[in-house]
Homo-oligomer: A and B are copies of this chain.
Amino acid sequence: MRNICMTVSYNGASYHGFQTQPQKITIQQQLEQALYQLTFEEIKVTASGRTDAGVHARGQVFNFQTGSQIPIERWCMAMNSRLPDDIVVWEARVVPDDFHARRSAKRKTYRYTMRCGKYPDLFKQNTEFHHPTPLDITAMQDALSCFVGEHDFTSFCSSRSSAESHVRTIFEARLECEPMEPHLQSYAIHIYLTGSGFLYNMVRIIVGTLIEVGEGKRSPSSIRDVLSAKDRALAGPTAMAHGLMLWEVFYGKVAPNA
């Protein structure tokens, strides 16, 4: 038996999230179905974490055990020819037996993208949340910096979270602004968050709150008060799923990085 680790991109628009659910089409189900067609083994994959319905991935990572003798350099193409067009495996490697895509992960980066201004870019509508009015970028950057460090993120996670602890560490929080597209009178804002782990809806609630800061509805410094209150009701709304992308998962020396 080998332990194989793969990196996969997917467009989440047509799926009910990553994790297998009865009667729903999910990324996990598509991956396991392709693996079955390829190996005739009933393989269960372990991902670095779930993604919600409509959320995309550039570099989701998963691993699985297999007795298949297929050479490792053939796995990507073999999988892609059995997967739908909106799921692409782009890296495969043999990893040590104790590698576990979720438990071995050291850091994860998510990216959230919004297009700010008059008109959406209709060729990116699946991956950009359209905000029709201008946002105060400087205020958003100030607010974003408040999330860096170790915090209890109870205010920024879904009340349905079942995590034992809501303490997480954000190592890096970055905002990038693309140049204005003159004909659309709009520009894309990317928010990158790198952390030790993320709670249920955490990135989307952080972004929903940042948007309120950008709209002038709350001050950047209010973020610290919201964090310390540990009350979901004080944060902003959960931003739309389609702007969110699992960007990259880091494992230290063991496993794939983009």
Question: Is A49 close to B, CB under 8 A?
Answer: no
Q: Which positions 95-144 of chain A face chain B at CB distance < 8 Å?
A: 118-120, 122-127
A122 touches B182 (CB 8 A): no
Question: Is A86 close to B, CB under 8 A?
Answer: yes
B7 touches A58 (CB 8 A): no
Question: Is A183 close to B, CB under 8 A?
Answer: yes
A11 touches B88 (CB 8 A): no
A122 touches B184 (CB 8 A): no
Question: Is A258 close to B, CB under 8 A?
Answer: yes
Interface majority SS on A: helix, strand, loop or mixed?
Answer: loop
Q: Nearest B residue to A118 by beta-carbon distance? A: B90
A10 touches B58 (CB 8 A): no
Q: How far is the CB of A152 from chain B (nearest CB, A)?
A: 34
B10 touches A258 (CB 8 A): no
- Best-buried of A7, A120, A183 by chain B (most CB within 10 Å): A183
Known: A90-B183, A91-B183, A183-B90. A9 touches B122 (CB 8 A): yes
Per-residue 0/1 for A72-84: is the Cβ within 8 Å of any B Cβ (1 yes, 0 no)? 0000100010000
Known: A182-B258, A183-B258. A56 touches B123 (CB 8 A): yes
Q: How far is the CB of A54 from chain B (nearest CB, A)?
A: 14
Residues in B whose Cβ lies below 8 Å from that of A203: none
Range class of the A interface residue count: 20 to 34
Q: Which positions 161-201 of chain A face chain B at CB distance < 8 Å?
A: 182-185
Q: How far is the CB of A41 from chain B (nearest CB, A)?
A: 25
Question: Is A87 close to B, CB under 8 A?
Answer: yes
Question: Is A59 close to B, CB under 8 A?
Answer: yes
- Best-buried of A88, A182, A258 by chain B (most CB within 10 Å): A88
Which of B86, B90, B183 is A58 in contact with, Cβ under 8 Å? B183
B119 touches A127 (CB 8 A): no
Q: Which positions 1-36 of chain A face chain B at CB distance < 8 Å?
A: 7, 9-11
Q: How far is the CA of A87 from the CA of B120 in the complex (A)?
A: 10
Q: How far is the CA of A119 from the CA of B184 in the complex (A)?
A: 30
Q: Nearest B residue to A58 by beta-carbon distance? A: B183
B183 touches A122 (CB 8 A): no
For the complex of A and B, list the 5 residue pairs with the smallest distance between their C-beta atoms, beginning with the closest: A183-B258, A90-B119, A11-B122, A88-B122, A88-B119
Chain A positions near chain B (C-beta within 8 angstroms)? 7, 9-11, 56, 58-59, 76, 80, 85-88, 90-91, 118-120, 122-127, 182-185, 258
